[in-house]
Amino acid sequence: MNDELFEINSERIVRAGISRRLFLRTTLAGGASLLAGRAATIFAAASASDNTSFTIGGDLAVNRLGFGAMRLTGEGIWGWPPDRENARKVLRRAVDLGANLIDTADAYGPETDELLIAEALYPYPKGLVIATKGGNTRPGPGQWVPDGRPEYLKQCVDKSLKRLKLDRIDLYQLHRVDPKVPMEDSLGALKEAQSAGKIRHIGLSEVFREQVARARKTVPIVTVQNRYNITDRKWENTLRYCEKEQIGFMPWAPVGGTRGMTNTALEKAAKDHGVTIYQLGLAWLLHRSPVMLPIPGTSSLAHLEENMATAKVKLSADEWKAIDALAGA
């Protein structure tokens, strides 16, 4: 149930030389200073014709490699982080490095994650898309209980708007389908908020392709956020549906979540290409589908730099085919 992402162990960073096909970490030291303070320029560069970008809902152009803010909260995704200023620095750096899609939820903290985003980034740079979610309650640390009642979701939207200091949320996602509430009722509440100008676009999380098709009879769905990574492809059918319908697919746990990515063959392949297995996993996601919008999360500035460098990974079709085979595809 948890959307927890696995933090990369810095001691496992591969320091091997960069292969002729890759351009990764050598650009960070020299290029990082050029990125700082240039978020508006980076955001403007996103276009529908550029494979590094995707247009959500037909009008929100984002760089496909985004940032998941969940790990900026306290242990168990509960409370404030031990170093609040560091969390703000990570958010600002993510934007500096080109992440103009930031994913959060009212359940992260709860509430503290949205507050941190506003503290760090408000007033928001033009083109920044903040995607939040509602419909998952937090009785305690590590606990997640769906609540899709229309009256509850309506107040969730209003409270997120206030915490994020927004007049309208660009992307609001139903965090979980509540088995006790008809999906149409939950989505009906979000549709009302959309009609009132509080929400721009609506997405879903952890759903089967049949549920997405059903939801679209009530309201347009522009994104789906399901667990998915190179070693866990349970939701492959949902991804294929999203590809067909041009719905953005936001994989959570893109590098394995709390389970990590323990695959000896992939570890060796990553080392051979001069990257970490986590960079390889993120690069694979970007390669896997043009609708894929990975949102890796971390509370470490070093890991953030490493994650964002993934956008530079370029492998040939044959190399990706070999890596698919190693992953058991």
Structure confidence at residue 325 (pLDDT): 86
Per the CB < 8 A criterion, the answer to whether 180 and 221 are in contact is: no
Residue positions counted in the chain = 329
Rounded average pLDDT over 79-96:
98
Q: Which of 108, 124, 172, 278 is catalytic?
A: 108
Other Cβ atoms closer than 10 A to 317? 8
Structure confidence at residue 260 (pLDDT): 62
Structure confidence at residue 265 (pLDDT): 87
With a cut of 60, say whether residue 40 has pLDDT above it.
no
Tens-digit pLDDT profile for residues 193-218: 999 999 999 999 999 999 999 999 99
Structure confidence at residue 19 (pLDDT): 38
Tens-digit pLDDT profile for residues 226-271: 999 998 899 999 999 999 999 999 999 998 765 667 788 889 999 9
CA 257 to chain CA mean position, Å: 12
Please give the Cα distance from 310 to 99 (Å, whole number).
12
The closest of 96, 97, 136 to 113, measured between CA atoms, is: 136
With a cut of 50, say whether residue 16 has pLDDT above it.
no
Rounded average pLDDT over 17-31:
37
Any idea of the CA torsion for 16, 17, 23, 27, to the nearest 10 degrees? 90
pLDDT band, very low/low/confident/very high, at 48 (cuts 50, 70, 90): very low
Name the amino acid, one letter, at 285. L
Active-site residue flag, 122:
no
Q: Encoding tokens for residue 286? A: 């970007």
Structure confidence at residue 314 (pLDDT): 85
With a cut of 90, say whether residue 135 has pLDDT above it.
yes
pLDDT band, very low/low/confident/very high, at 326 (cuts 50, 70, 90): confident
Q: Which of 26-35, 42-51, 154-163, 295-304 shows the lowest per-residue confidence on average (mean pLDDT)?
A: 26-35
> What pTM, to 2 d.p., does this model score?
0.85
Please give the Cα distance from 280 to 273 (Å, whole number).
9
Structure confidence at residue 324 (pLDDT): 86
With a cut of 80, say whether residue 25 has pLDDT above it.
no
pLDDT averaged over every residue in the chain: 86
Per the CB < 8 A criterion, the answer to whether 135 and 75 are in contact is: no
Structure confidence at residue 261 (pLDDT): 72
Name the amino acid, one letter, at 184. E
With a cut of 90, say whether residue 23 has pLDDT above it.
no
Per the CB < 8 A criterion, the answer to whether 311 and 46 are in contact is: no
Please provide the distance, in angstroms rounded to a whole number, between the alpha carbons at the two ends of the chain.
24
